[in-house]
Amino acid sequence: MRQSNMLIPTLREVPKEAEIKSHQLLLKAGYIRKLASGVYNFLPLGKRVLRKVEKIIREEMDRAGAQEVQMPTIQPAEIWEATGRWYTMGGELMRLKDRHDRPFALGATHEEVVTTLVKDEVTSYKKLPFTLYQIQNKFRDEQRPRFGLLRGREFLMKDAYSFHDSFESLDETYQALYDAYSRIFDRLNLNYRSVIADSGAMGGKDTHEFMVLSEVGEDIIAYSNSSDYAANIEMAPVVDQGEKPDVQPKEMEKASTPNAKTMQEVADYLGHALADGMKAIMFKVDGRFVLVIVRGDHEVNDVKLKNLYNADIVELATEEETRGIVGAGFGSLGPVGLPDTVEVVADYAVKYLVNATCGANEDGYHYINVQPERDFQVSHYADLRFIQEGDPSPDGQGTIEFAKGIEVGHIFKLGTLYAEKLGAEFLDHNGKSQPFIMGCYGIGVSRALAAVVEQFGDEDGMNWPKEVRPFDFHLLNLNTKNDEQVELADQLYKQLQDDGYDVLYDDRKERPGVKFNDSDLIGIPYRFVVGKGASEGYIEFKNRQTGEQEDVKTSELTQFIE
Ligand code: ATP
Ligand code: MG
Ligand code: MG
Ligand code: MG
């Protein structure tokens, strides 16, 4: 491409709103432009890099046996109602109505759509397993869109969904995709770590996030300094200091509550309590502690069951802390699918429950006047805090250290949750109807691109790893008034293209300083400069990554490149 014809609006100054490196450089080097908060145009250079990232992802997904599809962005409300996420996703789900006043959502994720699709198309175990994926814009009305592409409201995601007739088969595909993810992030040259993640109320146990280690990351990773243990801090068990908290149970009014609560009742109840400002409650379920956190003021939003993984204590977070530790997960779902018995464990949990339930009695469960010991068994007084640096690692090896991470990928074993909600079943080898067992696998494509810039950008500009560079070479002609140089540059431009390379050719009538500046900003790793040496048949080569520079004879260019 001739640079004179390309839309590359580089900037001298960084726009004030850009706080972090990737955002600043993407704007400054003319890769992206903002249209609205969290909504960006990809300009020609940005689009080229995006396609390279997509290419890596496609190659590895295809290699892992996944099939590419494209599902609709506009999705009828019914399927979201069926899974309950129409209610639980709250403000994050972008909603619209068609001309007949029928409600729709813009795709924030595609479990509902893909499960509905497969439900109608696959009826027998003989067709299983398979994995579908797509690369498509997603819409989430984030509470705090920020950092440019890192947290957008419209952003590019690769999402994949696998369907199985057994958990063993799910395990296999999960591992295959875990490996594919590792290859993808290796090829992007990212410094990442996979961590145990929070499955929220998704049912399944196994879930991993792929975190790029970065100071601007919004997640905190707790890892052992002497083993492989690494978890999102949301998932790291908290530490019980074993003391009774100084919280007095509230005065109770007249007793009117039945003693036993089934989990389903609590789940149903939660649906009603959400609008009443409840913060958090903790239960013990089948020997495991479950923290239910309700965030947000009066929005039916962000319910998250914190279903601890082999851990038996959790902290009740303050609302402020909760904001930090709970995000609406990939397909987070309302409180469903938990076992039958419930035991409230800490008395401040009970207090919250009491506070929350007073007034939550419209057509819900009348949990007014709940009393500890009478209505719930208080089995454990806990003084809990999150794991901290220096604590012993939960696996018993070494001590915990913290790092910040950017979540670029997230994989889940979903189990049968969505299939059950949407009635998606197949006939197993005994001719019996079974819900599909599913997995889901996301990558933030545009976020990963920004993470690459965050990791590799320097003071001068972009510094792309080989596989995602927007062009193979940047060819600069320093003097467009010198016929000899123009002729040589034109000829090299043609020659490189004939040899199959993608070349950005700076043929603009600009001063050399401007050209070098822009070239550094744009950050193509290999640069050829046609300058004064042209008359002797020499051009200059510069490697952006190593800073190494040398003169190359034009007649030996092909050998040089090899
Ligand atoms: P986060 O915790 O950052 O809000 P998430 O857990 O809500 O992310 P998932 O539902 O797991 O995100 O979606 C899959 C992937 O999509 C994430 O791992 C992330 O890389 C990407 N992603 C999610 N939200 C955004 C966003 N607002 N902007 C850009 N990428 C995003
Ligand atoms: Mg989120
Ligand atoms: Mg997350
Ligand atoms: Mg996630």
**pLDDT tens column, 249-308:** 333 332 233 333 444 444 444 433 333 333 344 444 434 444 444 333 322 222 223 322
Axis crossing angle, helix 347-357 with helix 263-273, rounded to the nearest 10: 50
Q: How far is residue 307's CA from residue 332's CA, in Å, rounded to a whole number?
A: 12
Summarize the confidence of residues 159-164 as an average pLDDT: 98
Residues of the chain with pLDDT > 90, as a percent, come to 63
Residue nearest to atom 6 of ligand 1 (CA): 329
Contacting residues for 12 by C-beta, under 8 A, at least 6 apart: none
Phi-psi map region of 298: left, alpha, beta (phi>0 left; psi -120 to 50 alpha): alpha
What is the CA(404)–ligand 1 centre distance, in A?
15
Kind plus residue range of the DSSP H or E element containing 77: helix 77-83
Among 451, 437, 201, 431, which residue's Cα sits nearest to residue 305?
A: 201
Q: How far is residue 418's CA from residue 420's CA, in Å, rounded to a whole number?
A: 5
Rounded to the nearest angstrom, the gap between the alpha carbon of residue 351 and the centroid of all alpha carbons in its chain is 35
270 vs 436: which has the higher pLDDT: 436
Q: How far is residue 294's CA from residue 48's CA, in Å, rounded to a whole number?
A: 41
What is the CA(329)–ligand 4 centre distance, in A?
5
pLDDT band at 198 (very low <50, low <70, confident <90, very high): low
In the numeric block, which tokens belong to residue 59? 């190659």
What is the CA(140)–ligand 2 centre distance, in A?
8
In the numeric block, which tokens belong to residue 190? 């990212």
Q: What is the pLDDT of residue 464?
A: 96
| Amino acid of residue 462 | M
Among 270, 309, 232, which residue's Cα sits nearest to residue 88?
A: 270
Burial of residue 378, with CB atoms counted within 10 A of its CB: 0-12 exposed, 13-18 middle, 19 or more buried: middle
Residues of the chain with pLDDT > 70, as a percent, come to 71
Q: How far is residue 14's CA from residue 278's CA, in Å, rounded to a whole number?
A: 43
Atom of ligand 1 nearest to the CA of 442: 14
417 vs 506: which has the higher pLDDT: 506
Weakest-pLDDT range from 22-26, 134-138, 231-235? 231-235
In the numeric block, which tokens belong to residue 105? 């959502």
CA distances from 118 to 106, 122, 127, 302, 534 (A): 20, 6, 11, 28, 63
Residue 451 in this model has a pLDDT that exceeds 70:
yes
Mean pLDDT of the chain: 79
Mutation to probe ligand 1, out of 161, 407, 441, 452 (largest number of atoms < 8 A from CB): 407
255 vs 166: which has the higher pLDDT: 166
CB within 6 Å of ligand 1 — which residues? Answer: 109, 140, 142, 151-152, 155, 157, 327-330, 407-410, 442, 444, 446-447
pLDDT band at 426 (very low <50, low <70, confident <90, very high): very high
Residue 318 in this model has a pLDDT that exceeds 80:
no
Contacting residues for 551 by C-beta, under 8 A, at least 6 apart: 533, 538, 539, 540, 541
pLDDT band at 237 (very low <50, low <70, confident <90, very high): low
Residue nearest to atom 28 of ligand 1 (CA): 151
Residue 126 in this model has a pLDDT that exceeds 60:
yes
Q: What is the pTM of this model?
A: 0.79
510 phi, psi to nearest 5 deg: -130, 160
What is the CA(233)–ligand 3 centre distance, in A?
11
Residue 180 in this model has a pLDDT that exceeds 80:
yes
323 vs 201: which has the higher pLDDT: 201
Q: How far is residue 376's CA from residue 368's CA, in Å, rounded to a whole number?
A: 13
Residue 5 in this model has a pLDDT that exceeds 90:
yes
Q: How far is residue 466's CA from residue 165's CA, in Å, rounded to a whole number?
A: 41
Mutation to probe ligand 1, out of 89, 109, 157 (largest number of atoms < 8 A from CB): 157
ipTM of the complex: 0.99
Give pairs for 11-20: CB < 8 Å, separation 24+. 18/148, 19/146, 19/147, 20/147, 20/148, 20/150, 20/216, 20/454
Weakest-pLDDT range from 57-66, 96-105, 198-207, 471-480? 198-207
Atom of ligand 1 nearest to the CA of 209: 18
Atom of ligand 1 nearest to the CA of 448: 20
pLDDT per residue as tens digits for the range 331-390: 222 222 233 333 443 333 333 333 333 333 333 334 333 444 444 443 333 344 557 889
Q: How far is residue 164's CA from residue 205's CA, in Å, rounded to a whole number?
A: 16
Among 492, 522, 524, 526, which residue's Cα sits nearest to residue 507?
A: 492
Q: What is the pLDDT of residue 484?
A: 94
CA distances from 454 to 84, 102, 218, 247 (A): 37, 42, 13, 45
The radius of gyration of the chain's CA atoms, rounded to the nearest angstrom, is 28
Residue 330 in this model has a pLDDT that exceeds 50:
no
Q: What is the pLDDT of residue 293?
A: 41
What's 400-455 look like in SS3?
EEEEEEEEEEEEEEEECHHHHHHCCEEECCCCCEEECEEEEEEEEHHHHHHHHHHH
Residue 401 in this model has a pLDDT that exceeds 80:
yes
By residue count, the chain amounts to 562
| Upstream peptide bond of 335 is cis (omega within 30 degrees of 0) | no
363 vs 533: which has the higher pLDDT: 533
Q: What is the pLDDT of residue 238?
A: 55
499 vs 297: which has the higher pLDDT: 499
Residue nearest to atom 10 of ligand 1 (CA): 330
